[in-house]
Structure 1
């Protein structure tokens, strides 16, 4: 995908250099040199053809690379390693591990609270397919470090897929990137990328009835398994002042 992106950038730069070079060449070559009127011509058929065809060629090239990149970004595999449903609401996140089952027979779920930033746990080196839904207004699922975000729209199931790098283990801040109401700025979550073995252990612990903080703490993560990059938001209006 990055090679295609670089190719489109290079193509745009080449076209830009050509166009601006042609403009400056005309400015210098045909600048006024006296009071004598330059030769008058009615038209120049080759140049008119060039100026008509060239823009279409430029548009076709840029459209070609854009279509290829968008198709690659939106490509979904039939059998991803992990499936996660992202449910957004004012102002919280719920993550459902679609291919798992908890003690109640339902898929394992993580949801935030006033004193708990939800943590989404995923395995490094695996493909992850997301299905996004919203319960109320438009939100936007965004993890800046994975260079991707997508709106969560009520009544629409948006899907996308990413492949986490083998060395991606760590904690990453996640945010809502769409202005969605009073507590939009505090609609945070955390992506915790662990090894494939730790991910299997995490699901086993969740399946045994452990909460996300309890499971992460048992796996040896700091701060008793709570989010480490973000802080809960005090929703008591009397405890806050304007910034």
Structure 2
């Protein structure tokens, strides 16, 4: 009776843990079909989601086989009534040892192949972009140069102090939907990282080095962008908003920036106190000195 009661209690505990886990997952953003990731709004996000879900399917399949074999061994070779002596504690089985050596190596190789394939696709910038935007990171905000339209948007550090309207002061990055956008990333001071979580892709911005990233936004809407590299005291407040809009609305925004006098491109090494327009026909070269402006 004691054994039966103990087994029941363990079963109830396991059921409770599973219920709590399912409840927690139900509160997560996303669905089972996309591995509880946020809904992807870019071509790269779809690729990352597919890699994530495929990896989990493979891992769960291996786990199910492993747990099944463990359960089989526990039941098949359990101690039975009348067993007085212990079985042999050491016995070689070369085929089995080869099996559990080769299979993990094969699994790692498969994971490496698909990860390397998708990483190469995510960082590929060989295609001709429809729009080119020079992103300049600085402590603790962002400047956006719309190279094709020869206009810019400059941002200043926005302190999030809980007051209403603080987020409205953040710099806003406009992107046309279903157009290939190339981001040319440069830093004005320290290492930053350009990250829009909804894109599921980010790339470091390193002083003196230009990095590039291509994204195709696939859904309209407003999304949060941020710095993903610890860059100083106000790193957590180095935020910006992303608006993915129709081509018509994008063109209207470019015209509005021109009407506001925000023409020309902001140089990468411009200080916060003084900004001079750069050559409209080229993206500013990255700064070669690491001054904190």
Shared fold, TM over 0.5: yes
| Residue 31 of structure 2: aligned partner | none
TM-score, normalising length from structure 2?
A: 0.62
Q: Structure 1 or 2: larger strand share? A: 1
| Residue 236 of structure 1: aligned partner | none
Aligned runs of 1:138-217 on 2, under 5 Å?
138-165=191-218, 168-211=219-262
Report if aligned partners of 1:141, 1:176 keep a CA contact under 8 Å in 2.
yes
Match among 125, 132, 152 for residue 83 of structure 1: 132
Shift in CA distance, 52/95, structure 1 to aligned 2, threshold 3 Å = same
Report if aligned partners of 2:197, 2:225 keep a CA contact under 8 Å in 1.
yes
Report if aligned partners of 2:171, 2:240 keep a CA contact under 8 Å in 1.
yes
Query: 1:69-118, CA deviations, whole angstroms, 9 ceiling, x for partnerless residues?
Result: 222222224211111111111112011122232xxxxxx22111357421
TM-score, normalising length from structure 1?
A: 0.74
Query: 1:155-197, CA deviations, whole angstroms, 9 ceiling, x for partnerless residues?
Result: 33222221111xx323222222222212222212111222101
| Residue 230 of structure 1: aligned partner | none
Match among 125, 132, 153 for residue 110 of structure 1: 153
Unaligned runs of 5+ in 2: 1-46, 159-168, 264-293
**Number of residues paired by the alignment?**
204
Unaligned runs of 5+ in 1: 102-107, 213-243
Aligned runs of 1:43-58 on 2, under 5 Å?
43-58=92-107
2:99 aligned counterpart, secondary structure: helix
Report if aligned partners of 1:15, 1:58 keep a CA contact under 8 Å in 2.
no
Aligned runs of 1:21-32 on 2, under 5 Å?
21-32=68-79
